[in-house]
Amino acid sequence: MKNPYFNPLKKHHRPDGFQNNYRSFRGKRLRELLRWRWQAWRAGHPRPMREAIPVVAPDLAFIHGNAQAGRHMQPAATWIGHITVLLQVGGLNILTDPVFSERCFPVQWAGPKRHTPPGLTLAQLPRIDVVLLSHNHYDHMDEHSLVSLATQRGGPPLFITPLGHRHWFARRGIHHVVELDWWDTHVLPETDRSLRIPVTLTPAQHWSARTTTDALRSLWGSFVVRSPDCHVFFSGDTAYSKDFIDIRQHFARDHTPEQGGGFDLALLPIGAYEPRWFMKDQHCNPEEAVQIFQDLGCKRAIAVHWGTFQLTDEALDEPPRALRTALHRAGVCESTFAVLAIGATCPVSSRLHSVTTDHQSGESPSSPELVTI
């Protein structure tokens, strides 16, 4: 099948789909998949858990107060589970890869089952303005969640996706969709309650597939959200690559010290990385997540893509331990790359002096207490 977006001048475009910038992804062959499953079965993987996944009740008063705060919104991120995060920036409520279903699989009677419930239910969410969808894997693109959000009270959010998803949404009656290629920007306009926010799709080292015959047909990616009060990087799924150095360079002009410095917050994956021979081209491990954090030049990060679905061989609770070791080795303070409890909200310092002043004068919602583990 032909790629309708094909542009021979773009090196990540292929006549039949897309490819990574630095390491071409080749779909795993059936014998490799069987080898992994056989080795995992013989070794007794996934390894058993040692400690419970931390979960806290969400601070609904803060989240909903903040959702209504408009330009006085306190920049904040609430971890809902796996890679689903509620970002509150620039007066908008933005969800990343919303997955609220019990299983991340084409059917709900098989496939990886949730170990931990969502930190917020769909019904507990404030009205969502924007959904960022990184790619079409089932642990990121959950039909039930997307369709539910499209029918939320107050009208559907804007769904921003990489190229190749518009028809999937249209078949479900959802038309409020913007598709982006890598480095394309969609500007969310300024309104009386929100700031002007450019959203850019940026590369990631990953792949896509929804069925056994559509690998690499739709694009995948990461996102840069440049809200004037908070610049956020959302990785989606990614392995380590030089893409993150490129991303830092691309936005360097916005990240001078006079303009508030580098990314204020990154949402980076730390789970689903073993065995390495099978996963290293598609998922980073915690050590590589720290390298990505440093390559991007982030002020702080929140660890995501762990603790929710058992997808690979490492224990579900192992990634934070491996992250601590990696941070120690890299000389990065643990509090700058935070491991949150599911349901916890992380407030982020605003880049805007005026908002900081308002906050200090008590006009913006008071920050919740940060619950990390």
Does 243 bind Zn ion (CB under 5 A)? Our answer is: no
Question: Among residues 129 and 243, whose Cβ is nearest to Zn ion?
Answer: 243
- Fill in the DSSP letter of residue 249: H
Helix ranges, the chain (H): 30-43, 60-67, 143-150, 166-171, 243-250, 276-279, 286-296, 318-330, 353-360
Does 82 bind Zn ion (CB under 5 A)? Our answer is: no
Question: Among residues 89 and 163, whose Cβ is nearest to Zn ion?
Answer: 163
Neighbours of 299 (CB within 10 A): 17
**What region, left, alpha or beta, does residue 97 occupy, with left being phi > 0 and alpha being psi -120 to 50 degrees?**
left
Neighbours of 315 (CB within 10 A): 16
Stretch that binds Zn ion, among 44-52, 91-99, 135-143, 169-177 (CB under 5 A): 135-143
Binding mask 257-296 for Zn ion (x = CB under 5 A): ----------------------------------------
Does 137 bind Zn ion (CB under 5 A)? Our answer is: yes
Residue 135 Cβ vs Zn ion, minimum distance, rounded to whole Å: 6
Find the binder of Zn ion among 237, 281, 295, 318 (CB under 5 A).
Answer: 237
Residues 6+ apart with CB under 8 A from 157: 95, 128, 129, 130, 131, 149, 150, 176
Question: Among residues 82 and 248, whose Cβ is nearest to Zn ion?
Answer: 82
Residue 326 Cβ vs Zn ion, minimum distance, rounded to whole Å: 19
Does 139 bind Zn ion (CB under 5 A)? Our answer is: yes
Residue 249 Cβ vs Zn ion, minimum distance, rounded to whole Å: 25
Question: Among residues 163 and 371, whose Cβ is nearest to Zn ion?
Answer: 163
Neighbours of 147 (CB within 10 A): 14
Question: Among residues 142 and 237, whose Cβ is nearest to Zn ion?
Answer: 237
Q: Map residue 328 onto helix, strand or coil.
A: helix
Distance CA 321, CA 280 (A): 19
Stretch that binds Zn ion, among 68-76, 110-118, 237-245, 363-371 (CB under 5 A): 237-245
Q: Which amino acid is it at 347?
A: P
Distance CA 210, CA 195 (A): 35
Question: Among residues 55 and 209, whose Cβ is nearest to Zn ion?
Answer: 209
Residue 218 Cβ vs Zn ion, minimum distance, rounded to whole Å: 12
For Zn ion, the binding residues (CB under 5 A) are 137, 139, 237
